[in-house]
Amino acid sequence: GDSVTQTEGLVTLTEGLPVMLNCTYQTAYSTFLFWYVQHLNEAPKLLLKSSTDNKRTEHQGFHATLHKSSSSFHLQKSSAQLSDSALYYCALSANYGNEKITFGAGTKLTIKP
Amino acid sequence: NAGVIQTPRHKVTGKGQEATLWCEPISGHSAVFWYRQTIVQGLEFLTYFRNQAPIDDSGMPKERFSAQMPNQSHSTLKIQSTQPQDSAVYLCASSLVGRVGEQYFGPGTRLTVL
């Protein structure tokens, strides 16, 4: 079945440093990849979405590039802000007509002053 | 647009009791999803409907969980004979059909089983 792996459960960074959260996936199908962000006591929200190989996708200062050759979709930001502290989920939806999303375990990102 | 509405926001049940959770999707969204969120398991897919028809319930525990969507404006998740391990935040999400992954989540119902 489909699966998403996020290797870091907790990431703590100092404000201003670059962010990189890892995501790899397994699926037998053509697929969409996503990053969802969930701030404390809020609902998850879609941050990024991609299905195009080697194309950079950007939103709200974050970016990710889908690399099908390595089955990866890492999330990056050049300079962390305190407000980036949140839970980040990488997720996929296989492109065969079923719209359910399979989520990774999530990475809790904490940004310190 | 009020977003996805979930009621109740908090529910406490005793072991063995029934719990019914309600979800009102965003008007015009015809795909409705249910997820369960715990610290240990993260976000787990339970089931989803498209145009009120059940499409995939592969994440539903078979014996005590059931979901329905009797009309386009609400869906219910029912848990019979609740157990402490059912304690979690249950999230409902909706999307336009065909907009894969562009799901809008409700605030969730926090279920606590004593």
Using left for φ > 0, alpha for ψ between -120 and 50, and beta otherwise, residue A5 falls in beta
Q: How do residues A28-80 score in pLDDT, each as one tens digit?
A: 888 899 999 999 999 999 999 999 999 999 999 999 999 999 999 999 999 99
Q: Is the pLDDT of residue A95 over 80?
A: no
Q: Give the class (CATH, top level) of A3-112.
A: mainly beta
Q: What per-residue confidence (pLDDT) applies to A40?
A: 94
Cβ–Cβ pairs < 8 A, chains A and B: 57
Q: How many other CB atoms are found less than 10 A from the CB of residue B80?
A: 13
CA distance B81 to chain A (A): 27
Residue of A nearest to B97 (CA): A99
Contacts of A10 (CB under 8 A, 6+ apart): A107, A108, A110
Contacts with B105 from chain A: Cβ below 8 Å = 43-45
Where exactly are the structural domains of chain A? Answer: 3-112
| Overall average pLDDT of the B37-64 stretch | 93
Mean pLDDT computed over every residue of chain B: 94
Q: Which two tokens stand for residue B51?
A: 């145009």
pLDDT at B49 > cutoff 70: yes
Nearest-CA residue of chain A relative to B104?
A45
B79 and chain A in contact, CB less than 8 A: no
Query: What CA–CA distances, in Å, run from B85 to B9, B24, B41, B66?
Result: 19, 26, 11, 16
Residue-range domains of chain B with CATH: 5-9+25-99 (2.60.40.10)
Residue A30 confidence (pLDDT): 81
Given a cut of 90, whether residue B26 has pLDDT beyond it is yes
For chain B, positions 39-78, list CB contacts with chain A under 8 A: 42-45, 48, 50, 55-56, 58-59
Residues of B within 8 A of A106 (CB-CB) are: 42-43
Structure token digits, residue A39: 């701030």
pLDDT tens digit sequence for B55-106: 999 999 988 999 999 999 999 999 999 999 999 999 999 999 888 889 999 9
User: Over chain A, what is the mean pLDDT?
Assistant: 94
What is the rounded CA–CA span in Å between residue A8 and residue A51? Answer: 23
The Cα–Cα gap between B100 and A100 comes to 8
Contacts of B54 (CB under 8 A, 6+ apart): B47, B48, B67, B69
pLDDT of residue B2: 79
What integer pLDDT is reported at residue B1 of this predicted model? 65
Count of CB atoms situated within 10 Å of the CB of B26: 17
Closest chain A residue to the Cα of B103, Cα to Cα: A46
